[in-house]
Amino acid sequence: MAAATDRRIDKLIHLLAANTTVVVPGPKIASEIGVTRSTVWVWIEKLRALGVEIKGHPSSGYQLQSLPDLLTPSLVRADLAGSEIGHKIVHYFQVDSTNSIASALAAKGAPHGTVVVAEEQTSGRGRFGRTWYSEKSSGIYASIILRPPLPPAAAPILTLAAGVAAHAAISAATGLPVDIRWPNDLLVNGKKVCGILTEMSAELDRLHAVVLGIGINVNHRQMPPELAAIATSLRIEGGKPYPRIKVLVALLKELDRHYRLLLEAGNAAIAGRWEAASSFARGRRITVRAGSEPFVATTDGLDRSGALRIRRDDGREELLVSGEVMEVK
């Protein structure tokens, strides 16, 4: 398993971010974070290589030119207030898949609300065995460990709650018009900007741990040619870059809020919010791919478990519990 980011690098970033108006001497940094001056220099160079603008050199000291667009724990937690989700954040510069790391941590007993976040994934995973394009420092690649006091049958509504939370977070952080395609693809102007991969371990009557893996295309300048027709980024649609940290903090707060809402108010509260946020909820012509031959149907709202009610063109009504839907153009 790759090594998580050294906590002392996190401290270094935090120290520089808390002192942006002054040059912080190298020896002071070294003694405050507990490493040698040469290690400070090596880490400063590493951060510069990641695009963090730091002025200065070992003899004078260092000064951040602007707040870095990194998702390191101390920067994220500074804005999280009392959110239980994110009270523990494990950061990686590069990882195969944050979901794999989070599943391994969950198996070792990591608590509810633990978040694994990476600047880059080398084998990001999507639904249906697809890969998730995970360009370095452009997107948000995060996996959240939940330990809900709920039965396995609650997994679909939990996933919808995550979709509603991501919808609220991206809308608030960017002002862009965000839509949800069942079950929880987030679209801007008809193209996907965010996907959610839920993985879990469960006993017959109780969910042990749920890993919500969330990928958001934030600052990609362009999507790879094979994805460009179906996927986009917030930057491409908004015409400007967005601070990833703002989107991530909003996401974790909204996840916390919607998780509590699910536990306190039940499935109907989440289903209602999903329906309000999605243009796919009712009266939408869709192509359904769910194992058998694709077919066309019309949507008719969610049932309380989170399944999508659909009406086939021959009048038969069905509940869709898994699979994917595409709009009929």
Kindly list the residues in this chain that would bind ligand BTN in the complex (CB under 6 A).
97-99, 121, 124-127, 130, 132, 141-143, 185, 195-197, 213-215
Is residue 32 within 8 A of residue 8, CB to CB? The reply is no
Query: How far apart are CB 132 and ligand BTN at their closest, in Å?
Result: 4
Query: How far apart are CB 156 and ligand BTN at their closest, in Å?
Result: 15
- Whose Cβ is closer to ligand BTN: residue 57's or residue 130's? 130
Report the distance separating Cα 41 and Cα 17, nearest Å: 17
Query: How far apart are CB 125 and ligand BTN at their closest, in Å?
Result: 4
Site of tokens 């500074």: 78
- Whose Cβ is closer to ligand BTN: residue 197's or residue 255's? 197
Peptide bond into 73 cis (omega under 30): no
- Whose Cβ is closer to ligand BTN: residue 14's or residue 167's? 167
Task: Determine the distance from the C-alpha atom of residue 246 to the mean position of all C-alpha atoms in its chain, rounded to a whole number.
Answer: 12
Query: How far apart are CB 3 and ligand BTN at their closest, in Å?
Result: 18
Residue 268 backbone dihedrals phi, psi, to 5 degrees: -60, -35
Query: How far apart are CB 45 and ligand BTN at their closest, in Å?
Result: 28
Site of tokens 């991206």: 170
HSE at residue 16, side-chain half, CA atoms within 13 A, is 26
- Whose Cβ is closer to ligand BTN: residue 26's or residue 183's? 183
Which residue of this chain has its Cβ atom nearest to ligand BTN in the complex?
Answer: 195
- Whose Cβ is closer to ligand BTN: residue 44's or residue 197's? 197
The Cα-based distances of 327 to 199, 261, 273 in angstroms read 26, 30, 21
HSE at residue 268, side-chain half, CA atoms within 13 A, is 1
Query: How far apart are CB 127 and ligand BTN at their closest, in Å?
Result: 4
- Whose Cβ is closer to ligand BTN: residue 68's or residue 215's? 215
The Cα-based distances of 165 to 47, 107, 112, 119 in angstroms read 31, 25, 17, 21
